[in-house]
Amino acid sequence: MISCKNETEPNATRNSGIEVQQAEKDRNEITLLVKNVYKWLNIADGPSGFSPVTKDSLIVGYDHADQKLYEKELSKSGLFAKEFVDNTARIFNKQDELLRNGKAEWQEGDMPPFGGSDVNAWCRCQDQPTDDFDKINVVIEKMISNTADLYWNWTGFGEDWENEHYHIKVVKENGRWKIAWMEGWDYEENVKLNY
């Protein structure tokens, strides 16, 4: 680039402008990704995963065939990174093991005995103010290369909703941003017993 004195603009200045444009593009793509995840969850007709197997009045494990279909649906959506799908499989396998070997006890009709099970894992909430996912506000806390840490909250529904933050990590796979980790799907939290 040429300045008004016919001097060439330094490469660093030119490069920082490109970096800012790319960062803004990435922010927009990440925001759209988060909103699309919740839209997808709201309309997904496929298997829900973690389907309990009941014997008498006890839940003694999970349906493995349903879980495999669920993992395929997650992958097929194009919204989730391989590490997220693998993590849900790890949670499933550990919870299933705890139920099958009797270390976790779960009566049919009761809340699951695992950490975080009193709320929806996808939002750490018990309800949501709207199905208008464009009201989701995404705040990117840190972006380095092909990873970003962020949180989201609802806007326009009062201070209580705006003060609640749900944390997510995203990665860029094959040029597309995807969900890598979500607060409600933290492995350690989800395999911890509540008693």
Domain boundaries, the chain: 30-191
Selected residue with higher pLDDT from 40 and 3: 40
Residue 33 pLDDT more than 70? yes
Q: Strand, helix or coil at 134? A: helix
- The class of domain 30-191 in CATH terms is alpha beta
Do 61 and 106 form a contact (C-beta atoms < 8 A)?
no
Give, to the nearest 10 degrees, the angle between helix 82-100 and helix 64-76. Answer: 170
Whole-angstrom Cα distance, residue 171 to residue 8? 36
Residue 147 pLDDT more than 80? yes
- pTM given for the model: 0.85
What one-letter code names the amino acid at 44?
A
Residue 13 pLDDT more than 50? no
Give residue 126's pLDDT band: very low, low, confident or very high (50, 70, 90).
confident
Q: Half-sphere exposure (CA, 13 Å, Cβ side) for 131?
A: 5
Q: Could you give the C-alpha distances from 104 to 52, 59, 60, 117, 176, in angstroms and in order?
A: 13, 9, 9, 13, 39
Question: Which residue pairs, CB below 8 angstroms and at least 24 apart, start in 141-150?
Answer: 143/23, 143/26, 143/27, 146/171, 146/172, 147/171, 147/172, 147/180, 148/26, 148/30, 148/177, 150/30, 150/34
Residue 84 pLDDT more than 70? yes
